[in-house]
Amino acid sequence: MTRRAALPGGILAVALLASSCGGGLGAGSEDGATRVTVTVSAASSLTGAFTEIATAFERQNPGVAVRVNLGGSSALAEQINAGAPVDVFASASASTMATVVAAGNAVNPTTFARNSLAVVTPPANPAGITSLSDLARPGVTVAVCAPQVPCGSAAASLLDRAGIRVTPATLDPDVKAVLSRVTSDEVDAGIVYVTDARAAGAEAHTVEIPTSENVSTDYLIAVVEGSDQVDWARSFVDFVTGPGARATLTTAGFESP
């Protein structure tokens, strides 16, 4: 199967192009021009880490460009199952990856990282949020991901586990949208991944959730069946699961699987 349908709109696409000459796997060129593009659909919570990893992969393999499509894992899975031209899928949940495997569009996914949750507020924390239970206070507005998205499912599990009832002010398509609502002062708080809270830096105040109360989610990666660049796709997956990328993921706040 050759996947030639155009990628749907609404995805943030980042094109990272190699600029040096040579090439691994015989795909480079003497003038340094890109001869191969590997398209990677990745959960939006992987934005920072995968931008660095893709750049490192390109440096190691001149002549190869990595194009990263970022979005909610469930939406990316639907696009892959609809025939979007994707070579690698990196999902923020095992269940979402399972839908791609069940459709025959991936086999033998590998768990490469784990993430947990945090509460974020605007820097001044005007609602005075100091714990997860504060999200249930009357008048506190909370943003979470939609329930079909891994970060939304994880947030629901977190609140259920803690016995906390929260009526979200918004149900967003991915974790970056939740974080954006917080940093723009649209809501009092949001539930995001630890990695997104870390990436926000001074733009958000983080309220940590104790490990005993927290939930975690596994990240899986796989070559998409029918990839036009299957050898390079496998090479990228191997790179992501290797020691160099592991260091990048750890720095971003991801845990080892």
Structural class in CATH, domain 12-113+218-252? alpha beta
Measured distance CA(243)–CA(194) in Å, rounded: 21
Per-residue model confidence as pLDDT tens digits over 98-112:
999 999 999 999 999
Q: Looking at the whole model, is its pTM more than 0.95? A: no
Supply 58's token pair.
């390109």
Per-residue model confidence as pLDDT tens digits over 173-182:
999 999 999 9
Structural class in CATH, domain 115-216? alpha beta
Q: Write down the domain spans for the chain.
A: 12-113+218-252, 115-216
Measured distance CA(98)–CA(77) in Å, rounded: 9
12-113+218-252 and 115-216, same CATH topology: yes
Per-residue model confidence as pLDDT tens digits over 127-142:
999 999 999 999 999 9
pLDDT at residue 18, rounded to an integer: 35
Per-residue model confidence as pLDDT tens digits over 175-208:
999 999 999 999 999 999 999 999 999 999 999 9
**Nearest-10 Cα torsion for 23, 24, 26, 29:** -10
